Amino acid sequence: MRGIAVSRSIDVSAHRQAVEFADGVYWIGALDPTLRSFDIILTTANGTTYNSYLVKGSDGVAVIDTVKENFSDEFFARLESEARYEDIKVIVLNHLEPDHSGALPELMRRAPQAQLYISQRATSMLKALLHGDENLPYTTVTTGDSVSLGDRTLQFLHTPFLHWPDTQCTYLEEEGILFSGDVFGCHYCDKRLFNDLVGDFRFSFDYYYAHIMRPFKKHVMDALKLIEPLKLSQIAPTHGPILRERPRRYVTHYRELSTSSLSQGIGSDEQSMIIFYMSSYGNTARMAEAIAEGAGDVDGVRVSLYDLEGGETDPFVDLIEEADALLFGSPTINGDAVKPVWDLLSSLAVVNLKGKLGAAFGSYGWSGEAVRMIEDRMRGLKMHIPRSGMRVKLIPTAEELEACHAFGLEIAEVLVGKSGSGGVIDFADLA
């Protein structure tokens, strides 16, 4: 039976057949319209789709990505409407997360002659996902590798960390179709399937980027260098609409989303230091001010002071992403840093803080654990803590405020490279 050709009145929920969207290229995915939360971290008001694709060549058929396991029936039905298992020569998994690899073991059981192509980084995940099927044969591929289907060629692009270490893209050269995995995807379920027919999914596209790709902006930029030179007639991601109308604008949009999200208020020759603090009796606040003054004495450092009591998490996260150094001040209450500090420090999974400078400070009554706990959290976020934090018992004296001033100055000097974190330190002196 032939696949369904695309028309304006398309409704892929009304049947279980393959949908041809380029010559010999079919969507064989599944709809999940009732899903309301994905991977814990995203809400999905419109559900999602698990897109899988089938490419026919003169010398065999390729299946690119599969679906979440409990959607296997729909996937296999669509596949069977267009191809026979014995004709499947190639299976490509661009990303091994279970929503794309769920039907893989069964597919390989039904098409044992097919060769599986994955990225090198995917191999350990493959084993961990397919316990009991550990002897599945596979070939690892990277940029420059390709596999022939006779009259058509699938090229592989090594695009790691979008959004797992294993991710890659596959490009059907002759048709200019990029099977992009989760890149350019979104959680938006619409039975009309194509970007020019579905509802307004711009919010879903940006929301998906913000939660899935944003921590990996640098890797997005690297991937775009491989993707931008390609001739692109369509982009076929693993979630959401197939981008067949003006696909390149989504590539451009990814580049926009991966560049600075704040307007350029800070000069490129300046380093931005943000000092966040909470204070119950004004002592930690006075420390914050002294540290800010000290840091401000160093040329090339723009210091900003924010009282967490008067802010909201989301704009602070944007600010933190752009900052070069982050200082957190918290009093110690009942042996812990205060909740607004933890709230902010636990909201940073969507940005990359690796290598930013960090420091902590705070006033305390009798034990002062908050500073060390904040430092540990910053280390966990892969930040660099060049100096041990500044702690003051209750009300800071003039000398202690002077020490805070010097502390701010020192951190700022590390930031501009005047005082390297360098030298030799002893392991025993590390906190």
Partner 1 sequence: MAKAKITFEDIEQTVNVPAGTRVIEVSEKIGAGIIYGCREGDCGTCMMHVTEGWNNLTEPSVLEEKVLKENMAGRHDRLACQAQILGDCTVKPT
* Residue ranges that bind partner 1, judged by CB under 8 A: 120-121, 123-124, 165, 354-355, 358, 378-379, 382-386, 420-427, 430-431
Q: Considering beta carbons, is residue 41 or 431 the nearer one to partner 1?
A: 431
The radius of gyration of the chain's CA atoms, rounded to the nearest angstrom, is: 26
Amino acid at 9: S
| Residue 140: burial class (beta carbons within 10 Å; 0-12, 13-18, 19+) | middle
Q: Considering beta carbons, is residue 129 or 257 the nearer one to partner 1?
A: 129
Please count the other Cβ atoms lying within 10 Å of the Cβ belonging to residue 5: 9
Sign, Cα dihedral of 271, 307, 394, 356: negative
Q: Considering beta carbons, is residue 111 or 385 the nearer one to partner 1?
A: 385
What is the C-alpha separation between 227 and 328, in angstroms, rounded? Answer: 40
Q: Considering beta carbons, is residue 323 or 392 the nearer one to partner 1?
A: 323
What is the C-alpha separation between 201 and 239, in angstroms, rounded? Answer: 12
Q: Considering beta carbons, is residue 132 or 423 the nearer one to partner 1?
A: 423
Please count the other Cβ atoms lying within 10 Å of the Cβ belonging to residue 23: 9
Q: Considering beta carbons, is residue 29 or 389 the nearer one to partner 1?
A: 389
Name the minimum Å distance from CB 140 to partner 1.
9
Q: Please, which residues have CB within 8 angstroms of residue 36's CB and are 6 or more apart in sequence?
A: 43, 44, 45, 47
Angle at which helices 248-257 and 217-227 cross, to 10°: 150
Name the minimum Å distance from CB 224 to partner 1.
22
Q: Considering beta carbons, is residue 189 or 359 the nearer one to partner 1?
A: 359
Here the tokens at position 327 are 């200082």
DSSP letter at 150 equals: S
Name the minimum Å distance from CB 101 to partner 1.
17
| Residue 222: burial class (beta carbons within 10 Å; 0-12, 13-18, 19+) | middle
Name the minimum Å distance from CB 428 to partner 1.
8
DSSP letter at 6 equals: P
Q: Considering beta carbons, is residue 274 or 401 the nearer one to partner 1?
A: 274
Q: Which of 43, 46, 20 is nearest to 32 (CA)?
A: 46
Name the minimum Å distance from CB 164 to partner 1.
11
Name the minimum Å distance from CB 270 to partner 1.
21
DSSP letter at 198 equals: S
Name the minimum Å distance from CB 348 to partner 1.
15
Name the minimum Å distance from CB 137 to partner 1.
16
